[in-house]
A = this chain, B = another copy of it.
């Protein structure tokens, strides 16, 4: 998909896909804050993420040289993750989006993904017979 699927040739597409999965930006954020975190620490910091998805995200970020995985072969093992310079740069590049996000949130904006079951008023226009 990485290339054959680059229909639009939009340069942001691959970065967006790198950043877009659920919790990914939050993981980046935490790693920027804390510098280095172990797997279990991330499990605790990212609310309700599963080990599977966390591992998926970390391996994906590692494959793309956005973070580095360091393993100590002690028993039990100790594995920690930290961002590379590219990873930090990626996070920094989200600054603009972050600012506008804060602004919109302050203005009460919320994403409407279009699930009508959350509209509770029940009152809707009736077609005249």
Which residues of A are in contact with B by a Cβ distance under 8 Å? Answer: 1-3, 7-8, 10-20, 23, 25-26, 29, 46-48, 59-60, 63-65, 86, 89-90, 92-102, 104-105, 109-115, 118
Contacts and interface: CB of A to CB of B under 8 A. Distances in A.
23 contacts: A1-B113, A2-B110, A2-B118, A7-B47, A8-B25, A8-B46, A10-B25, A10-B26, A12-B25, A13-B25, A15-B97, A15-B100, A15-B101, A16-B19, A17-B113, A18-B111, A60-B114, A65-B109, A93-B96, A95-B96, A96-B96, A96-B97, A97-B97
A17 B11 CA distance: 18
Contacts of A115: 1
Contacts of A17: 111, 113
User: Chain A: interface secondary structure?
Assistant: helix
A13 B46 CA distance: 14
Contacts of A89: 100
B2 A98 contact: no
A93 B97 contact: yes
Nearest to A95: B96
Given A8-B23, A16-B25, A47-B8, A64 B97 contact: no
